[in-house]
Amino acid sequence: MDNRKVFIIGLGLIGGSIALAIKQEHQNCQVYGYDINQNQLKVAKSLRVIDEVADTIETGVKDADLIIVATPVSKTEELILELVNYDLKPSAIITDVGSTKEKIVNKAKLFAEKDVTFIGGHPMAGSHKTGVEAAKSHLFENAFYILTPASETEMNKIIHLQNWLKGTKAKFIEMSPEQHDKLAGVISHFPHLIAASLVHQVSKLEKEEPMLLQLAAGGFRDITRIASASPVMWRDILVHNKQTVLSLLTNWQTEMERVKGIIETADEKDIYQYFETAKKFRDGLPTRQKGAIPSFYDLFVDVPDHPGVISDVTGILAKEGISITNIRILETREDIMGVLRLSLRSDQDRDRALACLTNNLYEAYISS
C-alpha cells in the first residue's frame, strides 16, 4: 500500500487519530486532509497529522485509494451525495466513522455505479478532549472497531480496509448496519439520553431547592458526565436511530412502572432482589475493555489540607512520565482530608499512578 493516497474529511479527534495510525503503519503513503475549520487544518499540518492540505473535497478525492469521512452523521449523508459527483479512483474504498450506520450505508449504495466500495465504520473509542490537537495514534488500541459492509461487499475489500486501519490496533468486528444501530442504541445512545434526562430533572427541581446544585457536585455529577457530550452530535444520532431509541424508551417506561410497583408495595424482598440482580450483572461487565462509551480512567487520592500538596502529587506523577488529562478537587475543607480526582489516559497509566502514589505514602484508590 506504500506510495498510495489517503484522504480524510474532518480533522477532529477521530479523523486525526486515524490519520496518525495510518501514517505510523504505512509510512510511505501520503495522507491528505480537509476540514471546514481552517485552524484545524493548520494545526493538523503543523503537528504532522496529515502530509498535505486539500483545498477542496473534489481535489482531495482525486486519485485517493482510501477516503475516510470523519464528520457528524448528518454531514456524512450530505457528503455522500457530494462525493458521488466527483472523479473517484476506480476500486477506491470509502468509509466513515459515524455512530449510526443503517441510513448512511443505504445512502452509500449510490457508489455502486462508480465502481468504488463503501464500508461503514464505527471506532468505539473516544476521549473527553476534542480537536485534532488531542489526536493520538493509540486512541483506538484494543477498542472495538465495527465495520458494517453491505451484503454484496467483496471480502477482499473488507480485508483491504482492515489492512489500511491495522495501525489503530483495534479489534475489528463485522455486523449488519441494522444490528449495529440496535446494539449501539442499547449501550450508548439510550444511556446518553437518560443522563441528559436526569440533568433536566435536577435543573427543574433546583428552582425550588437551590441546595441541589451543591449536593449534585459529587456523585450525581459523575454519573451524568456523558450528558456533557456534543448536542449537535446527539441530535444527529437520535434522528438517525429514532426507531431503536423509541423502542428502548417504551421498554424503559415499562421497567419504571415495574420499579414503581415494587416501591408502592414496599416489598423489601423484591426491592433487594432488584438491586442485587443489577449489581451482579454490572459487576460481571468487562473491566479492561473499551466499549461504546468512552471509559473514565479516574484515580482518587486523599490529600491533607496543606499548601503545595497538589503540586506534590502532580510532580510525583510527572517524574514517572504519567500524564494527567484532568484534575479536580472533589472536597477540601480546613483541617479535613480532601479528595483529588485524577483522570488519566488509560487503565495502564491509572495503575502505574496508583502504585507510584501508594509508594509515596498517599492513600490512592480506584472507584468501582
Domains and their CATH numbers in the chain: 5-175 (3.40.50.720), 180-283 (1.10.3660.10), 297-365 (3.30.2130.10)
Angle formed by the axes of helices 268-283 and 242-264, nearest 10°? 140
- Is the pLDDT at 291 greater than 70? The verdict is no
- Is the pLDDT at 91 greater than 60? The verdict is yes
Average pLDDT for residues 343-350, to the nearest whole number? 83
pLDDT of amino acid 142:
84
pLDDT of amino acid 333:
44
pLDDT of amino acid 298:
85
pLDDT of amino acid 283:
87
Query: 112: pLDDT confidence band, cut at 50, 70 and 90?
Result: confident
pLDDT of amino acid 304:
80
Q: Do residues 65 and 4 make contact, with C-beta atoms less than 8 angstroms apart?
A: yes
Query: 365: pLDDT confidence band, cut at 50, 70 and 90?
Result: confident
Q: Do residues 135 and 8 make contact, with C-beta atoms less than 8 angstroms apart?
A: no
Q: What is the mean pLDDT of the chain?
A: 89
Measured between alpha carbons, how far is 53 from 7 in angstroms, rounded to an integer?
10
Percent of the chain with pLDDT over 70: 93
Length of the chain: 368
pLDDT of amino acid 332:
46
Average pLDDT for residues 306-327, to the nearest whole number? 88
Instruction: Write out pLDDT tens, residues 192-206.
Output: 999 999 999 989 888
Average pLDDT for residues 302-319, to the nearest whole number? 87
- Is the pLDDT at 288 greater than 60? The verdict is no
Of 31-35, 53-57, 121-125, the poorest mean pLDDT is in 121-125
pTM for the full predicted model: 0.77
Q: Which grid cell sits at 242?
A: 429514532
Measured between alpha carbons, how far is 317 from 8 in angstroms, rounded to an integer?
36
Measured between alpha carbons, how far is 52 from 30 in angstroms, rounded to an integer?
8
Question: What are the two backbone dihedrals, phi and then psi, of residue 260, each rounded to the nearest 5 degrees?
Answer: -60, -40
Average pLDDT for residues 253-262, to the nearest whole number? 95
- Edge to edge, the sheet with strand 93-96 lists 52-53, 30-34, 5-9, 66-69, 93-96, 117-123, 144-149, 171-174
Q: Which of 117-121, 140-144, 326-330 has the highest mean pLDDT?
A: 117-121
